[in-house]
């Protein structure tokens, strides 16, 4: 049997309530999940765990989430990035590979985006993997 590494996710938001919401939105995804409250902590986790997906809020203590995601893409171009914000910038700069999910969207939208990213990374649905792991 060939074992494949499950993709991991990194979630970044300075607001503990939004971080808790991100925990809930990602709880059904198989694989490791990491959580950070600052850009510095997020960069440390990026280097230590090499997540496949990073979801970041916009308002962070040291820098905005979009700048953080751009730095992460420079450091690891393979990482899929999602900006999760209630106040999106007017225009996303020319950085490719950064998706936008507004915090005010319908419940389940973030979960749908996370599931779609998981399927894109693995070619399998998260529920089929959950059954396999049990």
pLDDT band at 128 (very low <50, low <70, confident <90, very high): low
**Contact present, 118 and 126 (Cβ < 8 Å):** yes
Q: For residues 57-93, b (16+ Cβ closer than 10 Å) or e, as one string?
A: bbebeeebbbbbbbebbeeeeebbbbbbbeeeeeeee
Retrieve residue 45's tokens. 């986790």
> pLDDT by residue (tens digit) across 24-67?
889 888 889 999 999 999 999 999 999 999 999 998 988 999 99
> pLDDT by residue (tens digit) across 12-34?
999 999 999 899 889 888 889 99
pTM over 0.95: no
Beta strands in 15-105, from DSSP E residues, in sequence order: 33-36, 53-56, 80-85, 98-102
Rounded CA gap, 83 and 128, in Å?
27
Rounded CA gap, 86 and 100, in Å?
10
Average pLDDT of the segment spanning 89-118: 78
What H or E segment, with its residue span, contains residue 110?
Answer: helix 109-122
Report pLDDT for 96. Answer: 67
- Of 105 and 131, more confident: 105
The C-alpha angle with vertex 69 and arms to 55 and 53, in degrees rounded to 5, equals: 40
Report pLDDT for 93. Answer: 57
């Amino acid at each position: 049997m060939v074992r494949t590494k499950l993709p991991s996710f990194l979630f970044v938001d300075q607001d503990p309530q939004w971080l808790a919401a991100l925990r809930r939105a990602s709880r059904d995804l198989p694989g490791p999940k990491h959580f950070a409250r600052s850009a510095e902590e997020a960069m440390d986790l990026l280097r230590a765990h090499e997540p496949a997906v990073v979801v970041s809020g916009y308002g962070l203590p040291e820098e905005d989430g979009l700048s953080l995601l751009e730095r992460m893409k420079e450091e690891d171009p393979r990482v899929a990035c999602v900006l999760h914000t209630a106040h999106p910038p007017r225009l996303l700069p020319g950085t490719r590979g950064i998706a936008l999910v507004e915090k005010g969207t319908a419940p389940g939208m973030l979960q749908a985006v996370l599931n779609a990213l998981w399927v894109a990374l693995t070619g399998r649905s998260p529920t089929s993997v959950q059954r396999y792991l049990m």
